[in-house]
Amino acid sequence: MQHDSPSDLPLAGFTVVELSDSASAPFAGHVLAGLGAEVWKVERPGGDSARGWGPSQWKGCGAAFHAINRGKRSICLDIKDPVQLATLHDLIERHADVFLHNLRPGSSGQYRLDPESLRARKPSLVVCEVGAYGHVGPLNTLPGYDPLMQAFSGIMMLTGEDGQAPVRAGVSIVDFGTGMWAVIGIVSALLRRERRKIGATVNSSLLETAIAWMSIGIANYAADGDPGGRHGSGVAFIVPHRAYEAADGYAIISAANDRLFARLAEALGHPEWGTDPKFATNAGRLANRQEIDGLIGQVMKRHTREYWQKHFDGFGLPCASVQTTAELYAHEQTRALGILGKTSEDEIDLVGVPLSFDRQRPPPLDSAPEVGQDNERLRQLLQAG
């Protein structure tokens, strides 16, 4: 079920000017568009870097660009040109509720696009700066990308198999997470503006997001000085909570407390594990991780993922197959959620906003724009006053 009109969406009526490139800030703009905001994406001549990302292509540019830039207008401006920069300033000052950017650290001031300059002229404006290492500190002027922050934050030292090389998460968790934090900050600032009639400066960064994802690891280290290690598909603090090999692939089992473990032991045909002093408590299972993992693994290999899913479902045990993208795409649960959608038959299915309002999901966004396709619309808007 979907909203009949974008005007029903929470951010309908708000205008966002997004000067961005790559993934983090564009993802934030994409979410804001999905929530109903009108988003003007400002691209440099040649367009956003993501247009050239591969290998998958759609309609002349990287499929990745389509994934995080639908529902936006595109205007092409060279902000190094004083006349075109003035046009951008005009758009912001006259029409924007939010200015979102991920300009190279330290460069916004030279274009008078820093929060102080913009909010001096328009106090109600919400300015959101998406950075790499953060807006303060000795590294705040350095550039950065998702894998750098997964490395710097320690995420990669906790990811992968013990004794093997560090592994980056296979999706851009830091980029997308930073975009989410930016949206949370922007929406919070707009809410405050409704009460106090003032704008705000919102700062979000890749490193701060990565540090937030390390919250439990940092708490554990602060408590006992243990920096943690790699546990493959598992985690440091719960056993069993990992993937086991079934007859046709892998399945994750999460017995996150002693009650669930006893139920798992029964489901696997070994109820005695649930009362064995070595395994009955999570502390015991942590101390005997290799042994209990081996015992569970021996049983899991006897049947397929589908068998175990149905079997464990009957015991109320958390379990999930380790799926490929193709399996996720085709799964009836994915389809039932209505989170994949397209606006016309000549489009591809893309992921929508992972939120529903009054049990209705926002409708699929329009296709990602071509570079500068709305320049004429911008000219008319500014001429109209």
What's the rounded Cα separation, in Å, for the pair 230 and 245? 18
Catalytic (active site) residue 175: yes
Closest residue by Cα to residue 213 from 257, 139, 157, 166? 157
- Residue recorded with tokens 């002027």: 141
Q: Give the long-range contacts of residues 212-217, CB within 8 A, separation 24 or more.
A: 212/177, 212/181, 213/153, 213/155, 213/173, 213/174, 213/177, 214/153, 214/154, 214/155, 214/158, 217/154, 217/158
One-letter identity of residue 150: Q
Tokens matching residue 199: 């704008």
What's the rounded Cα separation, in Å, for the pair 280 and 83? 72
What would the DSSP string read from start to end of 2-66?
Answer: B-S-GGGSTTTT-EEEEE--SSHHHHHHHHHHHTT-EEEEEE-TT--GGGG--S-EETTEEHHHH
Neighbouring CB atoms inside 10 A of 301's CB total: 10
What's the rounded Cα separation, in Å, for the pair 80 and 24? 23
Catalytic member of 175, 258, 346, 366: 175
The residues assigned a catalytic role are 175
